[in-house]
Amino acid sequence: MSLQVFSERGHEPLVRFAEQVFGHLPRSDQRRRACAYLHGLLATPGRKTVSAMSAAADVPSIAPHSMRQFVNASSWDWRPARAELARWAAERMPVEAWGLKVAVVAKRGVHSPGVHRRFVPSAGRSLNCQVALGLFLVSRTEAIPVDWALLLPDAWADDPHRRSRARIPSNAAVPMEQAALDLVDAQISGGGLGAVPVVADLSACTGARQLVRGLGLRRRDFVVALRPQGGTPPGARARGSGPLRHGAGRAVPQAGPPSAPALPPYRYFSLPGRRPTRTWMTSMTRRHATDLRLLAGLDEQAARAVSRLGSGFGLLDFEGRSYPGWHHHMTMVSAAYAFSRLEPRLGPVRSGPGPDPHALDGV
């Protein structure tokens, strides 16, 4: 695919972007490596290996071993960078929803954090892979990843030695629905973008119904596609509720036990002409059916973004074996993708000399 460097004057826009997103890094050498890594993701054709990206950056002081050290061994916190990336992106796009999307990353080995063999519905077969959940800012034309969770199977969650070797904290092993709620809690504040709904097609995930309950308890508006489950809403059997009733415009109250917080009503709808047919659930009982279907359609933007991240931005190319390293790499991948999609496009990408290695010294 054709990538963009966005300026005929050189790398100034990329340097300014790196200054904003990674300005929290305490050392100037870390900030230089962040900028070089971004340039490598944008300028390197084919696989984004550290060796290939270092060659593309062509900065003598940033050799492959220092790039690997920066990503895999360094202890810098990725969360401030992701929060700043979300702010940067929100200023440049008309955000209509927060999107949740699963990304499956095929792997050959067994040592990368979270790698395991599982059946992947989208591929129709079992794959040796990592499974990640991304949180996206979504408009009608774009989906920008701003946060990630790595989903750990039991083989990793129940093996302290394996987790220790990969530097995986004990609280990282949570079900998909809790990981999704953690992403929502971390990124969505009480105002501003907190008012836009959460949109997700998680019909292939077993925890989607627990997710919508968690969103309901948080009073977050949502539009979520559910996995078929015999026609009952989440918790219906435990509460003795009646069967699931389909069709936008029919609100179904959620009555919990007397001691539990009252959940908002919800409604169900489907997207005409889509195959396979999915049942969507929403908390927005007063929104017109057309609006709800437009919101559900935003999930396709997140799906396209995951595909682009894999084909041109290094989502599939992390080579390390540490959990922090994976998060560092995914932060860089997300930032490179956001820069590529949202900066003005003023020229073709160039390999060769990257940004001035001292451009970030004063940050």
CA-based torsion, 101, 106, 110, 112: positive or negative: negative
Compute the distance between CA of residue 133 and CA of residue 112 in angstroms, rounded to an integer: 16
Using the predicted structure, report yes or no on whether residue 38 has a pLDDT greater than 60: yes
Torsion angle defined by CA atoms of residues 250, 252, 253 and 256, in that order, rounded to the nearest 10 degrees? -170
Both tokens assigned to 308: 């682009």
pLDDT tens across 199-212, in order?
A: 999 888 888 889 99
pTM: 0.84
Q: How many CB atoms lie within 10 A of CB 291?
A: 14
Average pLDDT over residues 12-32: 93
Residue 358 lies in a domain: no
Tokens 């971004």 belong to which residue? 38
Question: How high is the mean pLDDT of the chain?
Answer: 81
In a domain, 265, yes or no: yes
- Confidence at residue 261, expressed as pLDDT on a 0 to 100 scale: 64
Question: Which has the closest alpha carbon to 147: 105, 93, 103?
Answer: 103
Task: List pLDDT tens digits, range 242-275.
Answer: 222 333 344 455 545 455 566 778 899 888 777 6
Q: What is the pLDDT of residue 206?
A: 83
Residue 196: other Cβ atoms inside 10 A: 18
Summarised one tens digit per residue, pLDDT across range 68-77 is 999 999 999 9
d(CA 267, CA 251): 5
**Please, which residues bridge with residue 129 across strands?**
106, 116
pLDDT higher than threshold 50 for residue 6: no
* Higher per-residue confidence, 115 vs 12: 115
Residue 363 falls inside a structural domain: no
Dist CA 338 CA 57 (whole Å): 19
Q: What is the pLDDT of residue 355?
A: 54
Three-class SS of residue 226? strand
Q: Is residue 360 part of a domain?
A: no
CATH of the domain at 256: 3.90.350
With vertex at residue 288, the alpha carbon angle to CA 286 and CA 292, rounded to the nearest 5 degrees, is: 100
Domain assignment present for residue 232? The answer is yes
pLDDT of residue 262: 66
Give residue 72's domain range: 12-342
Residue 125 DSSP label: E
Amino acid making up residue 97: A
Q: Is the peptide bond before 276 cis (omega within 30 degrees of 0)?
A: yes
Q: Which amino acid is at 244?
A: L
What is the total count of domains within the chain? 1
Assign 236 a pLDDT band (cuts: 50, 70, 90).
very low
Residue 350 belongs to some domain of the structure: no
- Quick check: is 362 in a domain? no
Query: Looking at the domain assignment, is residue 349 inside a domain?
Result: no
Q: Say if CB 283 and CB 222 are below 8 A apart.
A: yes
What residues contact 202, with CB distance under 8 A and at least 6 apart? 100, 102, 176, 180, 208, 211, 224, 225, 226, 227
User: Residue 121: how many CA atoms within 13 Å on its side-chain side?
Assistant: 8
Which helix (H) or strand (E) covers residue 34, if one does?
helix 28-43
Over residues 128-166, the pLDDT tens digits come to 899 999 999 999 999 999 999 999 999 999 999 999 999
Query: What pLDDT is recorded for position 363?
Result: 37
